[in-house]
Amino acid sequence: MTSIEIIDGSWKAMQARAMPIRMQVFVREQQVPIDLEQDDQDATAHHWVAQVGAECVGTVRLTMDGHLGRLAVLAQWRRQGIGAQLTECVVTHALAHGQHDLDLNAQTHAIPFYEALGFVVDGPEFMEAGMPHRHMRLRRASDVG
């Protein structure tokens, strides 16, 4: 089994590792305009990168207001649990720092992935960067009924 290391830090510390992954997945594969992919949230967000050896293979960020975003895993590394590990790191970090209201905008094809990690759909479908999305939030114990 491949050993995956997840490192985290500020944008200044993580940009050189995270940006090539985001460019490949969002800009090249999904054709997201670069001006939509890059925003002012990176500077204040907390970032994670998954590495296999020296290769950076996945990334995600958490904004100061509890929004999980920019989750991306390189194509050859998908369906190996890397996205789930990254998401679990974000949730653990957020909860440890008092952020209990986590949300995200999921591409509709990714909804089952996030549901398996404890997120629930919380809004109608909308278009973002030319792709259908749904708002999701982390299900809390108080949501169970």
The whole-model pTM stands at: 0.93
Which residues, other chains included, contact 101 with Cβ-Cβ below 8 Å and sequence gap of 6+?
A: 66, 137, 138
40 exposure class (CB count in 10 Å sphere: 0-12, 13-18, 19+): exposed
Number of domains in the chain: 1
Q: 19: domain range?
A: 5-143
Residue 30 sits in a domain of what CATH number? 3.40.630.30
Question: What pLDDT score does 2 carry?
Answer: 73
Residue 110 CA from chain centroid, whole number: 11
pLDDT of residue 140: 67
- Give me 46's structure tokens: 């907390």
pLDDT along the chain (145 residues), means of 10: 90 98 97 91 98 97 96 97 97 92 96 96 94 92 49
pLDDT of residue 139: 77
The Cα–Cα gap between 85 and 14 comes to 17
pLDDT confidence of residue 1: 55
